Amino acid sequence: MTWSDLITPYDANAVGVLALVITITAMARSSDRGLLALIALGVAFWAVHYGMLGSQSGAIVHGIAAVGIFCAHLTQEFALKSRVILATVFSTAGVSGSLYFGSALADALAAIGCVLLSFSEHTLRGPARRQGMVAGQGIFFVYALLLGSVPGMTVTTLTVVAGVVGLRRMRI
């Protein structure tokens, strides 16, 4: 018996639900303060979730993204050139992990989503950042659908709604 024999889809989806709650809570906030740190925490749980579902590329891409998003949180005040370099590094790492471990359409979508989200999180601010993050979630909706991740499909749908709520609250 191996570790993977002990994990059920219910266990994986329970971790996904926790990631969902963290992600939606972050996106619905009216302030950008701490937004990326919360998103990084949620994405770390998504890495565990997708790993438990058997997607090595999903686990790798989300693990790299969690570190990248936390770095984006720490470097928000850096010059744009530095943030572009960091976005490029984390995008390249995510795409490389997806290409190395992946073999299907879902893995290509994870790579594309990684690039879009990395650049949104590192280089954009305010409403534009949230709009980029919501667009990236559209790509990850199809990814979650292809993998059969109910929490993944749910969070991507709810992220759009929470993102719109957050954008509206920012404008008020």
Alpha helices for 29-125 (secondary structure H): 35-52, 56-74, 80-101, 105-123
- The answer to whether residue 102 scores a pLDDT higher than 90 is no
Q: For residue range 104-131, what is the model confidence (pLDDT) as tens digits?
A: 888 888 889 889 989 998 999 888 988 8
Residues ≥6 apart with Cβ < 8 Å to 82: 75
Identify which of 71, 65, 78, 81 has the alpha carbon closest to the alpha carbon of residue 118: 65
Average pLDDT over residues 4-8: 71
Query: pLDDT band at 4, cuts 50/70/90?
Result: low
Amino acid at 113: G
User: Does 87 have pLDDT greater than 80?
Assistant: yes
pTM: 0.82
Query: Which pLDDT belongs to residue 3?
Result: 57
143 versus 89: the higher-pLDDT residue is: 89
Handedness of CA 134, 35, 122, 129 (dihedral sign): positive
Supply the DSSP symbol for 78.
S
Domain tally, the chain: 1
pLDDT of residue 45: 95
CA distance 157 to 6: 30
Q: Residue 142 is part of which domain span?
A: 3-171
Which of the residue ranges 6-15, 22-31, 116-125, 127-136 has the most confident prediction, judged by mean pLDDT?
116-125
